[in-house]
Amino acid sequence: MAERRGEILVGEGLVKKYPPRGGAFVRRGEWVPAVDGATLGLRPGELAGLVGPSGAGKSTLVRLLAWLERPDAGVVRLDGAEVWAASRPCDPATRRSVQVVFQDSASSLDPRQAVEAIVSEPLRVHFRLGPEQRRERVRELLGAVGLEGVGQGFLGRRPRQLSGGERQRVAIARALACEPRVLLLDEPVAALDAPVRGQVLNLLRALRDDLGVALLLVSHDLRTVARVADRILVMVDGRIVEEGLPERILHCPGQATTRELVGAMPVFSGDEGNQLAPKSVSSA
Ligand code: ADP
């Protein structure tokens, strides 16, 4: 029911099981759920945060929401239409509306391609643009991710010749080149230093405001998510166990795991500062 509260992308009752680690010959009935009945929806123009401890199933959920893997149970809907209803999901135009940015852009970007080719590839595949228009659009997209005014030298660099922050911005620019309506970001700042992390998080907020896309920011770190998210979803053992405004999640966490995540947050300082510093939270 994607129409519910204007959600674009909805996952309902999603389940995904894998063989236990080191148990390749285990019968299917004994596979272990990585995602175990997760339900969530994303609205246009919101930046939702998905937080949970390592192993909670966040990355698996992202792969399900992006149709990179088929769920064992449950449905994914885009604009109300079930994406796995046919044997293969949707046409290319629909397919490009949901894009993912992964933590490790060093491995998700083709190491042999230069920046210009990386960002213009989706333009070539999805849109009928001439070479000159593509070049212009690449510059616009790089501008949108805070890399405005870069020279020809930058456009010719390979991913390994970029800093971590630049690589992540290029990965986001490539995703934006598809003109997505939903952008899923799986631990996009985990590998970045604090100041660069702050810049990329601010960029996500700007994308929400300027482009009106639905963003899902996934992190094991509640501090990262609370800094920018409009709404926080907490995932534990394959399920969404709690959902609410950042203020509520931080100051009045309803679940034991959420309290642990809040308790693990360091005291904010300097440019990583935030209005949402947690009050002391009892572990009761
Ligand atoms: P998170 O992103 O919250 O750390 P993951 O989705 O990566 O969690 O993993 C959830 C659980 O599923 C973990 O126990 C992980 O080992 C398992 N898992 C994830 N992907 C696979 C896979 N492809 N094969 C086997 N087990 C997997």
- Tens digits of per-residue pLDDT, 193-237? 888 889 899 999 999 999 989 999 999 999 889 999 999 999 999
Share of the chain above pLDDT 70, in %: 89
Spell out the SS3 assignment of the chain.
Answer: CCCHHHCCEEEEEEEEEECCCCCCCCCHHHCEEEEEEEEEEECCCCEEEEECCCCCCHHHHHHHHCCCCCCCEEEEEECCEECCCCCCCCCHHHHCCEEEECCCHHHHCCCCCCHHHHHHHHHHHHCCCCHHHHHHHHHHHHHHCCCCCCCHHHHCCCHHHCCHHHHHHHHHHHHHHCCCCEEEEECCCCCCCHHHHHHHHHHHHHHHHHHCCEEEEEECCHHHHHHHCCEEEEEECCEEEEEECHHHHHHCCCCHHHHHHHHCCCCCCHHHCCCCCCCCCCCC
- Tens digits of per-residue pLDDT, 22-71? 766 888 888 999 999 999 999 999 999 999 999 999 999 999 999 999 99
pLDDT (0 to 100) of residue 252: 93
State yes or no: pLDDT of 190 exceeds 60.
yes
Mean pLDDT over the full length of the chain: 88
Better pLDDT: 36 or 150: 36
Mutate to test the pocket of ligand 1, among 21, 60, 70, 72 (most ligand atoms within 8 A of CB): 60
> What is the number of the ligand 1 atom nearest to the C-alpha of 218?
2
CB 238 near ligand 1, within 6 Å: no
> What is the number of the ligand 1 atom nearest to the C-alpha of 54?
4
**From the CA of 71, how far away is ligand 1's center (Å)?**
14
CB 52 near ligand 1, within 6 Å: yes
- Tens digits of per-residue pLDDT, 88-112? 667 778 889 999 999 877 788 999 9
CB 55 near ligand 1, within 6 Å: yes
This prediction has a pTM of: 0.90
pLDDT (0 to 100) of residue 28: 84
